Structure 1
Amino acid sequence: MKSIAAISALALMLGSAVPVLAQSSHVPEGTKLAANQTFTYWMQDDLKTLDPDLNTSKDGNDVLHQLFEGLYDQDAEGNLVPALATSFDVSDDKMTYTFHLREGAKWSNGDPVTAQDFVYAWQRLADPKTASDYAWYMELMQVQNAHAVIAGEKPVTDLGVKALDDMTLQVQLETPIPYFRQMLVNSSTFPVPQKVVEKFGSDWTKPENMVSNGAYNLKSWKIGESIELVKSDSYWDAANTTLTDLKFVPITDLNQALTRYEAGELDFVQTPAGQYPRLKDEYPDQAFAPPRSCSYSYIFNVGDSGPEALKDVRVRKALSYAIDRDIIVDKILKGGQKPAYSWTHWATAGFTMPETDYSKMTQAERMAKAKELLKEAGYGPDHPLKLRLMYNTSSDHKKLAIAVQQFWKPLGVEVTLENYEWKVYLEKQQQHDFDISRYGWCADYNEPSTYLDVLTSWSDQDVGEWKDPAYDALLKDSKTAADPQADYTKAEQILAEQMPLAPVYHYSLPMLLNSHIKGYPFENVELNWYAKNMYRTAN
């Protein structure tokens, strides 16, 4: 069997040397560990920040899960496991949670991790002065007074979180939600070290200043080149942490990333569009395509800064209907993705995918309807609609944008493609400086509201500025419904009728993983991974 496992020069010299680390509880008895416990991970783009209160990206979440630790982690199947919360109590009305923290947990500077560190971090996230694009997450968690604090109507000290003592954190909710604890896996809920943040300001995440509480510490961050982490000896479970060195390498060109994987420079890479079937045949022990709870779409700017044409629902529907999702999934991507006619990922826990009107049509019927709708709106080959489509730098995003450009051409739609590197792309989205934008969303927790709440009027992520009172009412009602699926179904039907975005496909993660790297959580649909639970076997 052909192998392209990434093997360092040191490993080649040492061969099957005696492991340098003791066998942890994550490593099966009798496993022969490699002498070099390293893991080199591909990222699509460099990160905008390493501040848990400011991060908005999935790659950022992956890095922060190694540097910091919150109340809960997930196991390989996505189930909650205690991290800093060793136990909790909940009131009869399900609105007051009291978390009992782990004794002995420390920051990398030796200070104890306390309940106050969580209070400070959550207040900082909600504070308008922080200007976090994820402040809304406090509202989604239904934390008491979150809306008023974020709006600047109440002081941050009124946020419903407090330290009863160093080891006891209490959270007061406005509405009981059954998935509250699942939301605490997201990095925006992690503690941050107050005295370090206040001393260094925005520079606190630089390697020379950063203090973290996770299984790894920040060693270096070379913008555009790499982020390196090293095992933390102060971490409470350091004895069971086997991997010692992590390296995150941003490479926007997936073909280049694949070449570097094959050269042994990476241990993990996403496969380029269309290449997964070949790679699976060639490297069956390294190629995987697990479901990944993310959805890919094109969002329409219907706000004041958007083009007048997109304010017409007939135009939005026409553009959505004309996208041939089967071609995208079966002919371009070819990596286990599924066509999307609704927004919420099909594998989301507790979700039954609704049947929408256009999902029942053939593509020929959808195209005919698209032409009819666009003609009704006053556009066609004789009166072309001119639009800009924005995407972030990626060979795969470019392929899809070109395909969509071709799908829309028979409608008489002239599309100018605009490609921006990640940070600029995010800034343009937040400033609503686009006509149509590639818009991907990965679940913050495994429940349908993680997708549907994004398009509410209170969401900081609603970059298209679409608002619908009936939709808002459904999402609010779902928070207290005994079975929210009915609300979720109606919400998806509103999205299909109003089309604020055009869902394109539901993700899988076609990937190559070094066959010597063990412990990757393939059964976790969020694909939240923790290097502390992984290890590298000998050759």
Structure 2
Amino acid sequence: MNRLINIIFAFTVILSCGNPKNDDNIVISLGGEVATIDPHLNTANIGTVYIRHFFEGLMKKDKDGKIVPGMAERYDISEDGLIYTFYLRTNAKWSDGKDFTADDFLYSYRRFVDPNTASPYGHLMKPIKNALKITKGEIPIEELGIKKIDDYTLEITLENPTAYFLELADMYLPVRKDIVEEFGDAWVLNPESYICNGPYKMKERVIDDRIVMEINTNYYDKDKLVAKNITIKMISDRNTALAGIRNGDIHFSNLVPTQELEELEKENLIVMNQAYGTVFFEINLTNKAFTDSRVRKALALAIDRNYLINTVNKSVGIPAGAFVPPLIDDYEGKFRANGGNYISVDVNDYQKNVEEAKRLMSEAGYPNGKNYPVIEVLVSSEGNVVMVEAIQQMWKNINVDAVIIPREWSVILQSFRDLSYQMVLSGWTGDYNDPMTMLDLYLSYAPSNPGYSNYSYNNLLEEAQKTVNAKDRMQMLHNAEEILMNDMPIIPIHYRSNPLMVSKKLRDYKLDPLSKYRFHYSYLVK
């Protein structure tokens, strides 16, 4: 079997040989300059990688990728699962030496949901009592369900029991009130104002060139850190990143030139990281061409996902027969393994799928594709146009024609907002290890939903949010996914698996399915 498809399912990658060299400078390159590294305003996944080295929440991930206490030394959960009490570390400080207290989280949580902040991910706070009402501007931020008991004790009240709340507590990061108020948006631009509370602090920042981080000597757990200096090189050109990997100037990069994958594999410079993510076609359900679910199912069935993965994408991904990706946990085992596929991805079943697609098109009033309009598919300039071209040919098997329209992502986002599109190559990588991170995208009132509405689907997800019994809750989520796949408001293509270029010298870098790579324990060998 080709090593390229031996996907890494573990939360960590540990390459063990050689001895740690604390004085080595780890150089990573994940793309060009990001819009911001403010924890509450960042939307870029690579920005999150940087931010998670600088900041720490109430919880954190340990060396093995497990959620453990972070700025909180310990916590209690009420019997009904609604109240979390966090006891902060009394030895925690900000990078400038100022004591870290409960007031810092109180301010930060309120800032995160404040409509004036306009945080793109403020909705992630929705499990906390009143968070959604606050983000909508219906009630003041002071009514958020977080209360300071004393300088080192916080009480957080939830709307409903939330099985994955500790994972969210790892994601809700604090910022310092006096710094934000003094410097405004510019607080993130230089080491003097970028005051943080995590394992590293900013040593240098040159816009469009580099960010250099060094160990935060005021961090309570600094003695466990291995990497002394980490440099982020702002590079957007894949060939430049490849040259850097090969000549040793860069040690880790996600900027893999697709045409070089096989050669890089031969050089042992490629590692595959499977993600909590799915690539799919987003469909405008208000467009007449897609109002019939039988048409949407037919278009889904007519895609040969095995050909895409084995020939077109060259093993970058796993064929998707449903929406929730394989790594996400169930009550027992994995959600995908327990739920099975709603679209057969058996290599021998493609012709059966095509015949079923033809039958569905005929039932919908388009026998042999007759009178069905030409589909317009938007693909971002950085998207996989080659893959969509292959799908374009596959749809000809059911006599459906499509045209591909490349657009800048900003233009596509505007098309989402005003529903001026037919179909878009899209995708989503979840934020936490629970099926809800995927399924709640299609609640009828979700901000990311482009028009799908199903009362039963909404009801199941809302009931799941209130359910304490983990087994019953997961069954509700399986039932919800079944409704989603029967309605087919999206067309899943493949589960995300990201190729990474990694220097043979780099050891103990940490991968996880959220693509939030960590280098706290990394070192270089000769």
- List runs of 5+ in structure 1 lacking aligned partners: 1-25
Residue 211 (structure 1) aligned to one of 179, 190, 195: 195
Match of 1:265 in 2: 249
Q: How has the CA–CA distance of structure 1 residues 498 and 520 changed in structure 2, closer, same or farther, with 3 Å as cutoff? A: same
Residue range with higher mean Cα deviation, 314-323 or 484-493: 314-323
Give, as a single letter, the amino acid of the residue that structure 2 aligns with 1:418: P
Match of 2:285 in 1: 302
Match of 2:326 in 1: 346
Cα deviation code 1:336-392 (max 9, x no counterpart): 621111111111122332234432772222223334434554557654523432333
Matched, 1:457 2:444: yes
CA distance in 2, matches of 1:83, 1:450: 22
CA distance in 2, matches of 1:511, 1:30: 22
Give, as a single letter, the amino acid of the residue that structure 2 aligns with 1:331: T
CA distance in 1, matches of 2:507, 2:207: 29
CA shift, 1:137, in A, is: 0.9
CA distance in 1, matches of 2:448, 2:395: 26
Q: How has the CA–CA distance of structure 1 residues 34 and 228 changed in structure 2, closer, same or farther, with 3 Å as cutoff? A: closer
Give, as a single letter, the amino acid of the residue that structure 1 aligns with 2:498: L
CA distance in 1, matches of 2:415, 2:102: 37
Matched, 1:104 2:91: yes
Q: How has the CA–CA distance of structure 1 residues 255 and 30 changed in structure 2, closer, same or farther, with 3 Å as cutoff? A: closer
Q: How has the CA–CA distance of structure 1 residues 280 and 27 changed in structure 2, closer, same or farther, with 3 Å as cutoff? A: closer
Match of 2:9 in 1: none
Match of 2:479 in 1: 490
Matched, 1:153 2:138: yes
- List runs of 5+ in structure 2 lacking aligned partners: 1-13
**Aligned with 1:509: secondary structure?**
strand
Match of 1:231 in 2: 215
Q: Contact 1:274 / 1:331 at 8 angstroms: preserved in 2?
A: no
Residue range with higher mean Cα deviation, 490-499 or 220-229: 220-229
**Aligned with 1:125: secondary structure?**
helix
Scaled by the length of structure 1, the TM-score of the pair is: 0.84
CA shift, 1:497, in A, is: 1.0
Give, as a single letter, the amino acid of the residue that structure 2 aligns with 1:412: V
Q: How has the CA–CA distance of structure 1 residues 516 and 260 changed in structure 2, closer, same or farther, with 3 Å as cutoff? A: closer
**Aligned with 2:384: secondary structure?**
helix
Matched, 1:200 2:186: no
Scaled by the length of structure 2, the TM-score of the pair is: 0.86
Match of 1:134 in 2: 121
Structure 1 segments of 4+ aligned residues over 6 angstroms from their partners: 26-30
Give, as a single letter, the amino acid of the residue that structure 1 aligns with 2:456: A
Q: How has the CA–CA distance of structure 1 residues 27 and 201 changed in structure 2, closer, same or farther, with 3 Å as cutoff? A: same
Q: Contact 1:76 / 1:520 at 8 angstroms: preserved in 2?
A: no
Q: Contact 1:78 / 1:525 at 8 angstroms: preserved in 2?
A: no
Residue 437 (structure 1) aligned to one of 417, 424, 435: 424
**Aligned with 1:531: secondary structure?**
coil
CA distance in 1, matches of 2:124, 2:210: 29
CA distance in 2, matches of 1:444, 1:297: 17
Pairwise mapping of residues 335-484 of structure 1 onto structure 2 (< 5 A)?
Answer: 335=315, 337-350=317-330, 351-353=334-336, 354-359=339-344, 362-377=349-364, 383=371, 385-394=373-382, 397-410=384-397, 411-420=399-408, 425-426=412-413, 429=416, 432=419, 434-462=421-449, 464-479=450-465, 480=467, 482=469, 483=471, 484=473
Match of 1:11 in 2: none
Give, as a single letter, the amino acid of the residue that structure 1 aligns with 2:327: A
CA shift, 1:99, in A, is: 0.6
Give, as a single letter, the amino acid of the residue that structure 2 aligns with 1:334: K
CA shift, 1:530, in A, is: 2.9
Cα deviation code 1:307-359 (max 9, x no counterpart): 33233323322322222211111112233621111111111122332234432
Q: Contact 2:54 / 2:199 at 8 angstroms: preserved in 1?
A: yes
Cα deviation code 1:206-253 (max 9, x no counterpart): 226332222223455555554443433333333433323333345555
CA distance in 2, matches of 1:322, 1:383: 18
CA distance in 1, matches of 2:420, 2:39: 26
CA distance in 1, matches of 2:381, 2:412: 9
Identical positions, percent: 28
Give, as a single letter, the amino acid of the residue that structure 2 aligns with 1:164: I
Q: Contact 2:113 / 2:119 at 8 angstroms: preserved in 1?
A: yes
Q: Contact 2:362 / 2:369 at 8 angstroms: preserved in 1?
A: no
Pairwise mapping of residues 41-52 of structure 1 onto structure 2 (< 5 A)?
Answer: 41-43=29-31, 46-52=33-39
Residue range with higher mean Cα deviation, 269-278 or 84-93: 269-278
Cα deviation code 1:434-466 (max 9, x no counterpart): 43223222221112111112221342332x231
Matched, 1:68 2:55: yes
Matched, 1:507 2:496: yes
Cα deviation code 1:45-79 (max 9, x no counterpart): 64233121122332222111012111122134421
Matched, 1:323 2:307: no
Residue range with higher mean Cα deviation, 206-215 or 473-482: 206-215
CA shift, 1:96, in A, is: 0.9
CA distance in 1, matches of 2:120, 2:108: 15
Matched, 1:332 2:320: no
Matched, 1:165 2:153: no
CA distance in 2, matches of 1:224, 1:193: 25
CA shift, 1:158, in A, is: 0.7
**Aligned with 2:48: secondary structure?**
helix
CA shift, 1:414, in A, is: 2.4
Q: Contact 1:297 / 1:505 at 8 angstroms: preserved in 2?
A: yes
CA shift, 1:506, in A, is: 1.2
Matched, 1:40 2:28: yes
**Aligned with 2:105: secondary structure?**
helix
Q: Contact 1:274 / 1:334 at 8 angstroms: preserved in 2?
A: no
CA shift, 1:275, in A, is: 4.9
Give, as a single letter, the amino acid of the residue that structure 2 aligns with 1:476: E
Q: How has the CA–CA distance of structure 1 residues 137 and 468 changed in structure 2, closer, same or farther, with 3 Å as cutoff? A: same
CA shift, 1:492, in A, is: 1.6
Give, as a single letter, the amino acid of the residue that structure 1 aligns with 2:279: Y
CA shift, 1:527, in A, is: 4.5
Match of 1:119 in 2: 106
Match of 1:16 in 2: none
Matched, 1:183 2:183: no
CA shift, 1:469, in A, is: 1.5
Cα deviation code 1:20-57 (max 9, x no counterpart): xxxxxx999982516432222323x6423312112233
CA distance in 2, matches of 1:27, 1:363: 39
Match of 2:518 in 1: 530
CA distance in 2, matches of 1:458, 1:507: 26
Q: How has the CA–CA distance of structure 1 residues 356 and 517 changed in structure 2, closer, same or farther, with 3 Å as cutoff? A: closer
Match of 1:313 in 2: 293
CA distance in 2, matches of 1:28, 1:265: 21
